[in-house]
Structure 1
Amino acid sequence: MKVNLLIILIVFSLESCLGQTDKKLISNWNTHPIPTNPDSLRKYGFSFHEWAVYKKNDSVFVVDKKELPSPQLPFKIKVKKADSRDFGGRASILKVEDGYLVGFYRGEWGGALYWVSSDGKNYYKISSHEIVQFINRGGKQYAIEGLAHLGTSEGSIIEIYKPNDKWAVREHLKLPTAPAVIALDHQDNFIIITSKSLLKVGRNAQIFFLVDKGLWYAALYPNSMVIRNNIIYAGMRAGVYHYDLSTGKDSWLLPY
């Protein structure tokens, strides 16, 4: 009897683990229509689940956001007291030929963009932009920056370039609302989810509204995005947003 009970427990545990593994593949999530009911959107806004997406071996996976490792530099920086306030909040890191670009986002308390040497012994401040995410396109370095707070939502795409011995920034494009995530489509257009909209930005810096007001506008906070086979997958609170760039059709993916 005890042996049978042990076998049942082992099988149950294996099924649970396999089920969790299967659910990490976005292809095993269930497709639902985009919710429009205010009560449903409100319920999603209070969800405890913050889903994040990533691509590996040409497959799209989804995990709890807490499972994704935070970006880390391979060394400790000895920060001067005068700069200590800047070195806080959510960090973004981009490796460049002479070291690292490090961006900090602290919400309504500000942000900063720094260059750090490859050994961490030297650094300097480039700007006070609130860096949300870096992206490389055609060998050039860009970042989305901005803030959505209370009644304010604003931001831009900036280019980070090196005119002489030091890195500098210039505005590439002002965005209609604060950006949350960015990726490149197969034509190297910027695909951006802002606090309100889904945008495509062409190489000539022209903005196309793919979705003017997305369901995430109800406080679902997009945190990650990947594009595979011309399909956008965006991780956010409660579920994953799915948008077909070829057809313009979207849906809402849930693990049940």
Structure 2
Amino acid sequence: MNQFSFLLLLFIVSCTNQKSISIPENFSENKIPKLYSDEWYILNNSNDDYLVKNENGKLVVEKTKYRNSSKLNILGGNLIGENGGEWGGKLSFKSNDNSLPVKKIKSGNIVQIFKFQKKIFFIEGLAHLSTSEGELYELNPKDFSYKKLIDFEDAPEAVTTYKDKIFIASHQNFYEIENFKKTKIFEKEFWGSLYPNSIAVFDEENIFLGMRSGIVKINLNTKKIEFFREK
């Protein structure tokens, strides 16, 4: 086999190994608007919010409503997170049998509670007026103590885990966390104030964000962003 044939074979194998994630037929690609442009304000004023999910390797997109609470089942009960925006929120524990009073663990706007690497974490975030910030905490479920691991200079809004990484879509940015070290992949993107609500990861070339007015596809390898709206 000559060198040209070998390179051609590698190219074919590479293309074959790439996943092709189908965008729902009722969505089409749209031009990405500039932040705060007239086109962007149309998106911001929309009443349509979309949730993305990875269901058995298929991208599922559903209309959704804004949620201001999160819950995680643990031994003996549930962790409950509340996010009231400018009015505050809290993280609490409620026992399954209601034999104990609800225990308030921490004040703060709780974006999401999740398990990762057999431990429990929670994210706080607040975007209001000139404030946009957040934190990642680790929680000890035995005594409900917690410790801060990472600060964010932009309010986290959607969180998911994939293999050994945590992905966070914030008010305007996108972060990758590996070994609890934060990397900002995208900054001041058009989804500012379009409120990302969900992340669906298939691989690092197929990451989807659900938000107001549509969905976004992110390719971490090429740093390409695509925007899709319902037809």
Please state which structure has a larger fraction of its residues in strand: 2
Candidates 88, 104, 118, aligned match of 1:125: 104
TM-score, L = length of structure 2: 0.83
> What residue in structure 2 maps to residue 22 of structure 1?
none
User: Within 5 A, what are the aligned runs for 1:55-204?
Assistant: 55-66=54-65, 90-122=68-100, 123-162=102-141, 165-186=142-163, 188-203=164-179
Q: Map of 1:29-48 to 2, 5 A cutoff?
A: 29-36=27-34, 38-48=37-47
Whole-Å separation in 2 of the counterparts to 1:121 and 1:111: 24
Alpha-carbon distance, 1:135 to partner? 1.8
Q: What SS does the corresponding residue of 1:36 show, helix, strand or coil?
A: coil
Partner of 2:218: 243
| Amino acid corresponding to residue 34 of structure 1 in structure 2 | I
Aligned residues: CA RMSD: 1.8
SS at match of 1:41: helix
Q: Greater helix share, 1 or 2?
A: 1
Return the alpha-carbon distance in structure 1 between the equivalents of residues 98 and 154 of structure 2.
34
Give the SS at the match of 2:39: helix
Residue 55 of structure 1, CA deviation: 2.3
Amino acid of the structure 1 residue aligned with 2:170: T
Partner SS, residue 196 of structure 1: coil
Contact 1:35–1:252 (8 Å) recurs in 2? no
Normalising by structure 1, we get a TM-score of: 0.75
Percent identity of the aligned residues? 29
Looking at structure 2, the residues matched to 106 and 145 of structure 1 have their Cα atoms a distance apart, in angstroms, of: 11
Give the Å deviation of 1:27: 3.6
- Bigger Rg over Cα: 1
Please give the per-residue CA displacement for 1:167-211, whole angstroms capped at 9, x wherever unaligned.
Answer: 12110111111100111233x2111111121111121x2221111
Q: Write out per-residue CA displacement over residues 93-126 of structure 1, whole angstroms, 9 at most, x where no aligned residue.
A: 0011232111111111111111111223323111
CA apart distance, 1:51: 1.2
**Matched-pair contact (CA < 8 Å) for 2:196–2:210:** yes
Off by >6 Å, runs of 4+ in structure 1: none
Matched letter for residue 54 of structure 2: K
Instruction: After superposition, give the CA deviation of every residue in 1:27-69 in whole Å (9 maximum; x if it has no partner).
Output: 4222234222711111111112111112222212111114x9x
Matched AA of 2:149 = H
Unaligned runs of 5+ in 1: 1-24, 71-89
2 CA distance for matches of 1:120 and 1:232?
A: 40
Paired position in structure 2 for 1:221:
195
| Alignment partner, residue 181 of structure 2 | 206
Aligned length: 206
